[in-house]
Amino acid sequence: MAPITLEQAQARLPDLVHSLKPGENVVIVENGKALAVVTKAGPEASGETPGMERPRRQLGTMRGTVLSMDGFNDPLEEFAEYGP
- Residue range 11-60, pLDDT digits in tens: 999 999 889 888 888 999 999 899 999 988 876 665 656 666 778 888 88
Inside any domain, residue 22? yes
How is the chain split among helix, strand and coil, in percent rounded to 5?
Answer: 25, 20, 55
Inside any domain, residue 73? no
* Number of structural domains in the chain: 1
Q: How far is CA 20 from CA 12, 14, 62, 66, in A?
A: 13, 10, 45, 51
CATH of the domain at 28: 3.40.1620
Inside any domain, residue 59? no
The C-alpha atoms of residue 80 and residue 52 are separated, in whole angstroms, by 57
Inside any domain, residue 25? yes
SS3 27: strand
Report the candidate in 37, 19, 20 with the shortest Cα–Cα distance to residue 28.
Answer: 37
Amino acid at 56: R
pLDDT of residue 44: 63
pTM over 0.75: no
Residue span of the structural domain in which 32 resides: 1-43
